[in-house]
Amino acid sequence: MSDSIIKPAKRTQSITYAVRDIVVLANEIAKSGKEMLYLNIGDPNLFDFEPPRHLIEETYKAMLKNFNGYAPSSGIKSALEAIEKDAEKKEIKNIQDIFITTGASEAIDICLTALLNEGENILTPTPGYPLYTAIQSKLQLYENPYYLDESNGWQPDIDDIKSKINEKTRAIIIINPNNPTGSNASRETLQKIIDIALEHNLVIFSDEIYDKLLMDGEKHISIASLNPEVPVITFGGLSKNYMVPGFRIGWGIVSGNKNALKDYIEAINKLLRARLCANHPEQYGIAPSLLGDQSHLDVAIKKLTSRRNLTVEMLNSIPGISCVEPRGAFYAFPRIHNIDDDKHWTEELMKETGVVVVPGSGFGQLPGTNHFRIVFLPPEDILEKAYRAISQFHEKYMNKFKVSL
Ligand code: PLP
């Protein structure tokens, strides 16, 4: 028998996904019997968050009615209509197409694949959600990060965006509210991004998967609501707002100038047809979710606000750590000052305390800065325990590595 190695494709070489990669080491440590506190995965169902009951009931009924075959490639009619109604509430203008996918993840993959040729680039928010860079590696694009400004509540740095555009730039991604920083983009910032997109003929990908999870009464603005001509694909889904990430239901809403978008929409639909359809019975949960009772959101936002407050207060009281207040989603992205390597810091933290967080480098960050991402979904007692452990660990770490606070 030959012992030749099967070589994987080069396009997989630089694919990483820090949120789950960190679990490999965490599982090793857990084997030694250490109690672990997992603050790495944004899954509300692991804690005291539940989807609305009517969403589950309608999905279950669909399964019992045997709607278990293939669905149309773009999705079932009642769900598409509900997404359109919700988009109209978000004041998204000039909608040209809507399609349902296996999580927003698949919509993102399909829309990037249908637009970009090898060697082209997309302006990508940094820090940002690592799926975007993973797909770009797969498509053999070169990375074109733009930075979010920590000193300005993590708003996109408009000057940095302008300076990064070149003749191969085809699109700009915004994640709003942002993962990992929890920032909510201002109208002014969004307007400037539209101006840039129109000037340079860029498609805007607006990831709004957390749009209903804003705190402090803050309003979410869909970038597609601000201009009817600019080509935008707004990504959404049930995973976060409706707390069923395991359903794998997401969507894309294409809006903007009809003529400019027609070939691109056909390319997207070719890919949608080739993969048949998204999960079928779960699509029956979309209309009841979007159009039904929303009271689960009040309950969730109340919990998230008090957990966010605790997070910001406790982390900011640790010498050498600072944390910008998140406004939405359920993540914070605190900065660790005066260290060289956040991956080393998070690994040591995990070994010493069992607290699992994701290193900032897994989301991208301004060179020379170090961060970690915390998921503040767990109840206050767990968070308090984790932050106390981080505080004690950090002091020891800085002493051990001889860094002054
Ligand atoms: N976009 C962002 C910004 C996310 O944080 C996530 C998941 O964490 C996704 C997309 C993936 O969403 P879905 O579960 O719908 O695939």
| pLDDT score recorded for residue 11 | 84
Question: What Å distances lie between residue 275 and 173, 252, 253, 315, CA to CA?
Answer: 24, 16, 18, 45
Q: Which has the closest alpha carbon to 333: 19, 15, 14?
A: 19
- Give yes or no for residue 157 having a pLDDT over 80: yes
The pLDDT of 344-373, averaged and rounded, is 95
| pLDDT score recorded for residue 10 | 85
* Spatial CB neighbours of 220, under 8 Å, sequence gap ≥ 6: 90, 176, 177, 184, 208, 211, 212, 214, 328
Find out whether the beta carbon of 102 lies less than 6 Å from any atom of ligand 1: no
16 CA → ligand 1 middle, Å:
15
Q: Which of 40, 102, 179, 209 to mutate to test the pocket of ligand 1 (most atoms within 8 A of CB)?
A: 209
Q: How many CA atoms lie within 13 A of 110 on its CB side?
A: 34
- Give yes or no for residue 1 having a pLDDT over 60: no
Give the pLDDT confidence of 295-328 residue by residue, as tens digits.
999 999 999 999 999 999 999 999 999 999 999 9
| pLDDT score recorded for residue 204 | 98
| CATH number attached to the domain at 53-291 | 3.40.640.10
The separation between the first and the last C-alpha atoms of the chain, rounded to the nearest angstrom, is 59
Mean pLDDT of the chain: 95
How many CB atoms within 10 Å of residue 313? Answer: 12
What CATH topology corresponds to 10-50+295-400? Aspartate Aminotransferase, domain 1 (3.90.1150)
The pLDDT of 73-78, averaged and rounded, is 98
Question: What Å distances lie between residue 86 and 45, 79, 80, 280, CA to CA?
Answer: 24, 11, 10, 20
Find out whether the beta carbon of 245 lies less than 6 Å from any atom of ligand 1: yes
Find out whether the beta carbon of 250 lies less than 6 Å from any atom of ligand 1: yes
Find out whether the beta carbon of 207 lies less than 6 Å from any atom of ligand 1: yes
* Spatial CB neighbours of 167, under 8 Å, sequence gap ≥ 6: none
Q: Where are the beta strands (DSSP E) in 47-168?
A: 95-102, 121-126, 144-149, 155-156
From-to residues of CATH 3.40.640.10 in the chain: 53-291
From-to residues of CATH 3.90.1150.10 in the chain: 10-50+295-400
Q: How many CA atoms lie within 13 A of 35 on its CB side?
A: 4
| pLDDT score recorded for residue 402 | 63
403 pLDDT band, cuts 50/70/90, is low
